[in-house]
């Protein structure tokens, strides 16, 4: 029977203790599926690459106010160990448009306040990149954002940032995890809201931070005179997908001189239900359905979509044949990298020690572009926090000038005012680039991508994700990674494998010279098989979702050749593991 299960005592505690609210207890009492109860209590949500993210609901393996309190107490205990000055510097907290985001933000604020840690709480919805900026601007010891980024409506999350504005580095992350594990008692009582506000332990912030954040974005642009003069000539359609991006993107585009833009009315207002899309993810072409309908009616040059916390940007652009071309995250990153480097060189602002930073799951085309400008490319693990860490390393150690960072999952940052990806800034930069190429060179953004392919090779990039939920799913994902490690292929679909990088073992094997060396990256459960001449296949379990992702980067002399090769590579890889995925 169920009572014999090891998670029974925790469930019983949640069901019977008055600390947990009646709605939570009732929710658990109504569950009759024993597997569902096991999944809710067999583990506790853990930190991944972006903090904690999970399905909303009662239980230790769900996101709710009690998990928020426990995680925040772990953060508070960590800050307390840094001394009185850290407590006085405090924590800034933001939140997005999801269910319970505002409630969770307040819970976190009041737990910190009861620990005598100063809190700056945003008065309304704000984008993730503004939270990253606010940590630096307010000089806090940490920041918290309540968001699940682009995940479905059933999810929410808790992202922690450290004093440089980057996502939580390993040392304090381990401290928080340790503190959470040490505290067995879930009964954490937050401060009284009115008292915390009256005593100044919780201070509301908003307009001043907004103005400073937008000023930094405007300062990062490259052709402000052009946009002020000709901004009316670029027709733009924008959608925030019911999230936080609507107001800041509109504000920036207006200040730049782009007045010929329209918001998708059905998706303009924040809504946790995300009623017009299956998933509020600008990586998904289906999320652009309403935006493209409006774009076709208005003959828009550029279509922009930001995810709910406005850190990811997706885009379409009109080509010469009157068709809308979808850009992958890699393609947007390469176009922005090329535009930034080219404009800097034209304006004699390209430093000799310039650096772009990208993840190991991002396209090899970017490295070819950067090399052509004499700019170094640094590769980091998947997760924008590693790009933020590299920016900090350059600043502290005094090497390199950071110019641009991106990841294939539609995340971009130019400059160091923040340490996380910024879809508000990326929207501004891509609109500026589209206007420049239209007004000065009589080209579309698809024209520019075609030119880059012609110059450096046609690179096709694709990601395939498999959702394998629950305990069984986690075991199957582990089995897939084990099989790929054992296979160690010397070729895939006729492409010779030059390097095999096993980031969990911190080992790179050179197949041509039959020698190994360290990857010089932190350990992570990921495998990358790099092909001779460019391109790769990579497998990596997600750190925040019950998924395993496969990344493909294929180089060809033509689009047709690259398409055919990509199809063969995918077929061979998935045949190897097919029995574990069904």
CATH number at residue 158: 3.40.120.10
Residue 185's Cβ-side half-sphere holds a number of Cα atoms within 13 Å equal to 4
Residue-number span of the structural domain to which 504 is assigned: 458-581
Looking at the structure, tell me whether residues 83 and 230 fall in a common domain: no
- Least Cα distance to 527 among 576, 566, 571, 568 occurs for 576
Identify whether 348 is part of a domain.
yes
pLDDT tens sequence across 378-404: 999 998 989 999 999 999 999 999 999
With H, G, I as helix, E, B as strand and everything else as coil, classify residue 481.
Answer: helix
Query: Per-residue pLDDT averaged across 166-192, rounded?
Result: 87
Identify whether 14 is part of a domain.
no
Number of domains the chain contains: 3
Helix axes 365-372, 445-456, angle to 10 degrees: 80
Looking at the structure, tell me whether residues 223 and 364 fall in a common domain: yes
Looking at the structure, tell me whether residues 74 and 156 fall in a common domain: yes
Confidence of residue 50 (pLDDT cuts 50, 70, 90): low
pLDDT, mean over the chain: 94
Looking at the structure, tell me whether residues 199 and 344 fall in a common domain: no
If phi over 0 gives left and psi between -120 and 50 gives alpha, with beta otherwise, what is residue 322?
Answer: left
The catalytic position among 149, 287, 409, 427 is 149
Write the CB contacts of 426 (distance below 8 Å, at least 6 apart in sequence).
Answer: 313, 332, 336, 412, 413
pTM of the model: 0.93
Identify whether 414 is part of a domain.
yes
Higher pLDDT, 331 or 186: 331
- Apex CA 108: angle with CA 106 and CA 109, to 5°? 60
Identify whether 238 is part of a domain.
yes
Higher pLDDT, 2 or 278: 278
Calculate what percentage of the chain has a pLDDT beyond 70.
98
Looking at the structure, tell me whether residues 128 and 77 fall in a common domain: yes
CATH of the domain at 510: 3.30.310.50
Looking at the structure, tell me whether residues 520 and 395 fall in a common domain: no
* 365 close to 454: Cβ distance less than 8 angstroms: no
Looking at the structure, tell me whether residues 152 and 185 fall in a common domain: yes
Query: Per-residue pLDDT averaged across 54-70, rounded?
Result: 95
Q: Report pLDDT for 582.
A: 65
Active site annotation includes 9: no
Identify whether 5 is part of a domain.
no
Residue 503 main-chain phi, psi, to 5 deg: -75, -20
Looking at the structure, tell me whether residues 197 and 329 fall in a common domain: no
Query: Per-residue pLDDT averaged across 265-281, rounded?
Result: 96
- Apex CA 225: angle with CA 239 and CA 132, to 5°? 50
Last residue of a domain, one of 187, 205, 223: 205
- Please list, residue by residue across 384-396, b when 16 or more beta carbons sit within 10 angstroms of its beta carbon and e when fewer do: bbbbbbbbbebee
Q: How far apart are CA 208 and CA 205, in angstroms?
A: 7
Looking at the structure, tell me whether residues 51 and 178 fall in a common domain: yes
pLDDT tens sequence across 209-241: 999 999 999 999 999 999 999 999 999 999 999
Confidence of residue 1 (pLDDT cuts 50, 70, 90): very low
- Least Cα distance to 339 among 449, 442, 210 occurs for 449
Query: Per-residue pLDDT averaged across 566-579, rounded?
Result: 93
Query: Per-residue pLDDT averaged across 426-455, rounded?
Result: 98
Identify whether 302 is part of a domain.
yes
With H, G, I as helix, E, B as strand and everything else as coil, classify residue 371.
Answer: helix
Is the model's pLDDT at 351 over the cut of 60? Answer: yes
Is the model's pLDDT at 346 over the cut of 80? Answer: yes
Lowest mean per-residue pLDDT among 32-36, 190-194, 250-254, 327-331? 32-36
Q: How far apart are CA 356 and CA 360, in angstroms?
A: 13
Looking at the structure, tell me whether residues 122 and 133 fall in a common domain: yes
Looking at the structure, tell me whether residues 277 and 368 fall in a common domain: yes
Is the model's pLDDT at 265 over the cut of 80? Answer: yes
With H, G, I as helix, E, B as strand and everything else as coil, classify residue 63.
Answer: strand
Last residue of a domain, one of 417, 439, 456: 456
Identify whether 51 is part of a domain.
yes
Looking at the structure, tell me whether residues 154 and 227 fall in a common domain: no
Helices (H), 440-558: 445-456, 470-487
Query: Per-residue pLDDT averaged across 257-277, rounded?
Result: 96
Identify whether 503 is part of a domain.
yes
Q: How far apart are CA 461 and CA 459, in angstroms?
A: 6
Helix axes 559-581, 470-487, angle to 10 degrees: 120
Q: Report pLDDT for 6.
A: 59
Lowest mean per-residue pLDDT among 106-115, 163-172, 517-526? 163-172
Neighbours of 447 (CB within 10 A): 17
Higher pLDDT, 132 or 47: 132
Last residue of a domain, one of 205, 225, 253: 205
pLDDT tens sequence across 494-548: 999 999 999 999 999 999 999 999 999 999 999 999 999 999 999 999 866 788 9
């Amino acid at each position: 029977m169920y009572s014999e299960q090891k998670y029974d005592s925790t469930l019983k505690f949640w069901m019977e203790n008055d600390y947990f609210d009646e709605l939570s207890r009732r929710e658990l009492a109504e569950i009759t599926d024993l597997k569902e109860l096991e999944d809710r209590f067999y583990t506790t949500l853990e930190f991944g690459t972006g903090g904690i993210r999970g399905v909303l609901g009662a239980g230790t393996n769900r996101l709710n106010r009690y998990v928020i309190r426990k995680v925040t107490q772990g953060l508070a205990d960590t800050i307390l160990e840094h001394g009185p000055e850290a407590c006085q510097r405090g924590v800034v907290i933001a939140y997005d448009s999801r269910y319970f985001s505002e409630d969770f933000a307040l819970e976190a604020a009041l737990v910190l306040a009861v620990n005598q840690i100063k809190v700056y709480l945003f008065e309304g919805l704000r984008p993730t990149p503004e939270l990253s900026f606010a940590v630096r601007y307010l000089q806090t010891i940490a920041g918290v954002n309540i968001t699940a980024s682009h995940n479905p409506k059933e999810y929410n999350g808790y992202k922690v940032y450290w004093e440089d504005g980057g996502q939580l580095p390993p040392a304090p992350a381990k401290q928080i995890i340790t503190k959470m594990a040490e505290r067995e008692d879930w009964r954490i009582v937050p401060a009284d809201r009115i008292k915390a506000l009256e005593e100044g332990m919780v201070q509301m912030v908003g307009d001043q931070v907004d103005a400073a954040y937008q000023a930094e974005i405007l300062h990062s642009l490259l052709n402000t005179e052009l946009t002020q003069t000709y901004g009316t000539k670029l027709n733009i359609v924008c959608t925030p997908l019911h999230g936080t991006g609507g107001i800041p993107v509109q504000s920036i585009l207006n200040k730049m001189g782009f007045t010929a833009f329209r918001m998708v009315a059905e998706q303009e207002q924040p809504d946790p239900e995300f009623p017009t899309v299956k998933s509020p993810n600008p990586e998904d072409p289906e999320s652009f359905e309403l935006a493209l309908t409006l774009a076709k009616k208005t003959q828009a040059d550029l279509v922009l979509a930001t995810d709910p916390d406005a850190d990811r940007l997706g885009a379409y652009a009109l080509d010469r044949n009157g068709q809308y071309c979808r850009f992958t995250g890699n393609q947007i990153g390469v176009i922005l990298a090329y535009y930034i480097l080219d404009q800097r060189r034209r304006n004699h602002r390209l430093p000799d020690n310039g650096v772009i930073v990208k993840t190991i799951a991002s396209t090899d085309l970017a490295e070819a572009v950067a090399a052509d400008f004499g700019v170094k490319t640094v590769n980091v693990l998947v997760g924008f926090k590693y790009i933020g860490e590299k920016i900090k390393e350059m600043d502290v150690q005094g090497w390199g000038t950071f110019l641009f960072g991106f990841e294939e999952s539609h995340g971009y940052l130019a400059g160091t005012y923040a340490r996380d990806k910024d879809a508000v800034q990326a929207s501004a930069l891509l609109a500026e680039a589209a206007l420049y190429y239209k007004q000065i060179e009589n080209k579309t953004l698809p024209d520019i991508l075609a030119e880059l392919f012609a110059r450096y090779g046609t690179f096709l990039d694709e990601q395939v994700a498999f959702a394998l939920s629950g305990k069984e799913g986690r075991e199957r994902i582990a089995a897939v990674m084990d099989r790929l490690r054992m296979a160690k292929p010397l070729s895939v679909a006729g492409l010779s494998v030059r390097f095999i990088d096993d980031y969990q073992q911190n080992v790179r094997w050179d197949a041509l010279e039959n020698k190994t060396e360290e990857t010089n990256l932190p350990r992570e459960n990921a495998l990358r098989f790099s092909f001779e001449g460019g391109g790769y296949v990579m497998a990596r379990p997600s750190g925040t979702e019950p998924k395993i992702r496969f990344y493909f980067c294929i180089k060809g002399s033509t689009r047709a050749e690259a398409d055919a090769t990509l199809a063969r590579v995918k077929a061979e890889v998935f045949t190897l593991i097919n029995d574990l995925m069904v």
